[in-house]
Amino acid sequence: MISSALLEYKFNKYIYQGYGATETCGGVSMCPADIENPPKSVGKIVASKKIKIVDPVTLKSVKTGEPGELLVFSDYMVTGYLKKPEETAESFIELEGEKWYRTADIMSMDEEGNLYFIDRTVDTIKHKGYRVSSSEIEAVLQEHPAIMGSCVVGVEDPRV
């Protein structure tokens, strides 16, 4: 792998790490890869985007540092899925006169504006009113020496 210092010196190119989604037409957050950033941070929000971190159920903003679903707004992003009105209604919502994209990703942001990826809600299982991350359960299962691999899925309980 070529170091970022070599790329900068030889080609005047820089390496960034970050977070983005196709629906947001590019990066949502970025940080230079060769600068010391807080561990597990995916960077700070780029100037062309606005974000909200909200409770996934109530869509109310959470406090700084608390986890919540990441919503993204930009003048430069898609506003729906072609011929998929149900998916569009689930993923794009109007708040305060603006259309926001629901990423289904759980994030938090610190007081300095660094964004942290925590989990995805798409692999979340609802159990008795609680959201349980199947990937977290899989990670715990795979720590056991007798388990080579695991896959956790939700199964509907016909009694409920």
Q: What is the pLDDT of residue 70?
A: 97
**What domains are there in the chain, each with its CATH number?**
4-141 (2.30.38.10)
Helix H, strand E, coil C: the string for 80-147 is CCCCCHHHHHHHEEEECCEEEEEEEEEEEECCCCEEEEEEEHHHEEEECCEEEEHHHHHHHHCCCCCC
Strand-pair partners of 30? 18, 44
**What's the pTM?**
0.71
Q: What is the pLDDT of residue 94?
A: 95
pLDDT digits (tens, 9 = 90+) for 78-100: 989 899 899 899 999 999 999 99
The SS3 assignment for 64 reads coil
pLDDT digits (tens, 9 = 90+) for 44-83: 999 999 999 999 999 999 999 999 999 999 999 998 989 9
* Phi, psi for residue 13 in degrees, rounded to 5: -115, 150
* Phi, psi for residue 67 in degrees, rounded to 5: -75, 150
Asked whether residue 14 carries a pLDDT value surpassing 70, the answer given is yes
Confidence of residue 116 (pLDDT cuts 50, 70, 90): very high
